[in-house]
Amino acid sequence: MRAVSTLLLSLFLAWPAAALAAPCTAGAASSAYCRIGVGVQYRTVAAARGNDVFIGYGGYGVTEPSAVAWVDALTQARLIQLGVKHLYAVKGPADALYAAKEISNRALASHLLRAIGPSTRRIIVVAHSSGSFVANEILGWLASLSPATLFKIHYFSLDGGYGLSWAIAKNLARVYFVYAKMGAAFSRNAAVMKQQAGWFGAKALPVAVDASASGCRAADCLHDTVINTRPYSPVTFLVNRDYVEFDASHRVVTSYLDRLP
């Protein structure tokens, strides 16, 4: 029975990928997702009161449909209120260190630069876990293609990894290193987040997410409490459930966004 349930869940998650496969039309705005390139989905928010941007980078193992589900949950919970109009949902890397560099970040950067304008106040980049390696890459592309754009970027690394350079960080609006805390227990990359927050001085802010109601019993579970208030396993991360299955008991985490100016 468990094998059948797993198969059904896999089929459910795979279905939207086909539905979202249509390529984006240059210059067009649409409330339906379209594909910019490998691993990157885009749509606009019809109800947006601003022209701001959100890019959500999923961690290792996160599929495109799962990344879309997470970004959509964030949109309903918080991003509309923040004036976000342009949404980019990006799948996790094919390997944990993003050695393959397979995500279409160059295409994303080019699309973003066409979408923004003088009315764009903030570009919010949120990357979870290994997705931080992918996010670091787009920051490099934007630094090359449009250095002035960096000043609008608020970058949140959610229990992520290393790799952000001072050459990039010093030009960002702010960098937020986010980790989870439950009593004396911390998420698996909490030490990495705290260390980097120290490296980047006044440009960076360490942010602790309260995971006291998560039900976690291990650091790997706490790793996903920056995504879902109550991950589906108390001892590990089940990303394609934690990113997708949100309800009253499993809410999408938005508290770190309260640190935005």
Task: Say what the pLDDT of residue 19 is.
Answer: 46
CATH of the domain at 237: 3.40.50
Per-residue confidence at 28, pLDDT binned at 50, 70, 90? low
Mean pLDDT of all residues belonging to the chain: 92
Instruction: Give the closest residue to 84 by CA, choosing from 55, 113, 105, 59.
Output: 55
Q: Report long-range pairs for 163-172 (Cβ below 8 Å, ≥24 apart).
A: 163/132, 163/133, 163/136, 164/132, 164/136, 164/139, 164/196, 164/200, 166/199, 166/200, 167/143, 168/136, 168/139, 168/140, 168/143, 169/200, 169/203, 169/204, 170/203, 171/143, 171/147, 172/139, 172/203
pLDDT, tens digit, 9 for 90 and up, residues 203-222: 999 999 999 999 999 999 99
Per-residue confidence at 18, pLDDT binned at 50, 70, 90? very low
Task: Say what the pLDDT of residue 24 is.
Answer: 87
| C-alpha to C-alpha distances, 180 to 56, 89, 136, 169, 207, nearest whole angstrom | 18, 23, 21, 22, 8
Q: Is residue 70 pLDDT above 80, yes or no?
A: yes
Give the residue-averaged pLDDT of 83-99.
97
Q: Is residue 254 pLDDT above 50, yes or no?
A: yes
Task: Say what the pLDDT of residue 10 is.
Answer: 42
Per-residue confidence at 27, pLDDT binned at 50, 70, 90? low
Per-residue confidence at 21, pLDDT binned at 50, 70, 90? low
Per-residue confidence at 16, pLDDT binned at 50, 70, 90? very low
pTM of the model: 0.91
* Domain limits for position 6: 2-259
Question: Is 205:156 a contact under the CB 8 Å cutoff?
Answer: no
Looking at the structure of the chain, the number of domains it has is 1
Task: Say what the pLDDT of residue 15 is.
Answer: 39
Q: Is residue 185 pLDDT above 80, yes or no?
A: yes
